[in-house]
Amino acid sequence: EVFHGVKMFTTSWYLCTLNTFGAICFLVAALSGSIPGLEHNLENWLVNFPYLIGSIAFLAGSFCALWLWKSEQFGLGFVPALNLGEFPQSPQLEVTRELEVSMHAQYGCGRSSALQMPWLFIYTLN
């Protein structure tokens, strides 16, 4: 998915890349952990360290996914074509859309800003 259908250096690209890197780190750690008779120091570097780096990569990938969700980018990294459509234009739909956006703004929903990310992260930890 990193090389197909996703423009490079976009949030979707970072999401796919970070999740792939995290999965590779977990694979390396799991395969290294199956080697019998590893020294303690070597085990820390070949097992525990890749798990740590992979977990950090998955955490950063989840921030990308959270940002895409909050920005109403549906399909996340897999189906960006869902976001290419345009809303039909009519006066009644425009009034309805403005009412919906104002209601969302009242409750902190709708388009995201970078200032909301720490609060969303704390919310997900709860």
24 pLDDT above the threshold of 50: yes
- Name the range with the highest mean pLDDT among 4-13, 23-32, 35-44, 84-93: 23-32
Helix (H) or strand (E) segment spanning residue 44: none
pLDDT in tens, 33-80: 888 888 888 888 888 999 999 999 999 998 888 887 777 676 655 555
pTM value is 0.65
